[in-house]
Amino acid sequence: MTVTPADPNVVYVVLIGNSKPGDNGFIGIYRSNDAGESWLLPNLPVGGPYTSSHPNLMTLNNTNTLYQGYYNLGIAASFTNANHLLIGGLNLWRSTDGAQTFTPLGGYQGNVGWIHPDQQEIEINGDDQWVVNDGGINYSTDLFANHESRKYGLTASDFWGFGSGWNEDLLVGGRYHNGNTAYRPSFEEGRFLRLGGAEAATGYVSPGEAQTSYFSDISSKLIPYELSGDVINAPSLSLYPNESYYAAHSSELEFHPNCYNTIFIGRKTNSGAATTADSATTWSGNSATTPMRRCCTSTLRAAIRR
């Protein structure tokens, strides 16, 4: 619900849920012009069916069934124009005609860059407009035609996956909603390298190959020693352990302590048949409960420093 000092009699309310067959988590944005005495729905019909002119503001798009209005939902009206609104669900939306029409700005839809999905809160105070989502805090003064990040100094991340090197202090991991990242002590203090991805519980570091890290969603990467260096693609492992959001459903990837080319993973298979990764690398496992192993020729490397 939102009100605006531009017109104290105007009230907007977002209704989510399902009121009839064909609804999918969004019923509509209702407007009152008389301080709640009566209500109208500027963008008909009530709920579904959804179209390009009557979009579902709570889902990824009109054909997707996922909606999360119970988790991410926000609305705020402009302080200077009662017809200007920002609405947040999985995507961020804007209306400039009192909720008659809506334009997607960012998230899974829209053309405004670097707006993370899952809008959690929207606040407007004078000309200051704030949107908080699962990617941080964004600030605008023009209803998010332009915006900037306002999370410098907020360094907390929720790592769903995590890996570290043996001989070098290389740290990698998959973060909740913010993709994979890497860190070396040679990076600028407090800075991490963004690698891409979304929210996989992944991230493993080869104890032998100093720059090689493995990710189930973005494949293998050679991590540079400086933030300005290039991230280089490396051969994929082709198989990865179970990576679930739930700890009880997750397994591990472990390197043999004497031969880093031998890798053990916990993985459930349907057939238990051996899987071939490529001509030089094989995976074997004979049942759904048997760990699988990647084997290849071991190489002993030594370095002498004076």
- Domain of residue 94, CATH code: 2.130.10.10
Q: What is the dihedral of CA 172, 174, 179, 185, to 10 degrees?
A: -20
Confidence of residue 286 (pLDDT cuts 50, 70, 90): very low
Looking at the structure, do residues 243 and 279 belong to the same domain, yes or no? Answer: yes
Is the N-terminal amide bond of 49 cis, ω within 30° of 0? Answer: yes
Asked, for residue 183, whether it belongs to a domain, the answer is: yes
pLDDT higher than threshold 70 for residue 300? no
More confident call, 241 vs 195: 195
pLDDT tens-digit profile of 72-121? 999 999 999 999 999 999 999 999 999 999 999 999 999 999 899 999 99
Instruction: Give the model's confidence band at 245: pLDDT under 50 very low, under 70 low, under 90 confident, else very high.
Output: confident
Task: Report pTM.
Answer: 0.72
More confident residue, 158 or 103: 103
- Is 62 within the bounds of a domain? yes
Q: Please check the confidence at residue 30 and state whether its pLDDT lies above 90.
A: yes
Residue 201's pLDDT is: 92
Same domain, 150 and 175: no
Task: Please give the tally of structural domains in the chain.
Answer: 2
The CA distance from 273 to 293, in Å, is 13
Last residue of a domain, one of 154, 173, 193: 154
HSE-up of residue 254 (Cα within 13 Å, Cβ side): 10
How many CA atoms, within 13 angstroms, populate the side-chain half-sphere of residue 6? Answer: 20
Residues 82 and 175 grouped into a single domain = no
> Residue 20's pLDDT is what?
95
The parent domain of residue 73 ranges over 1-154
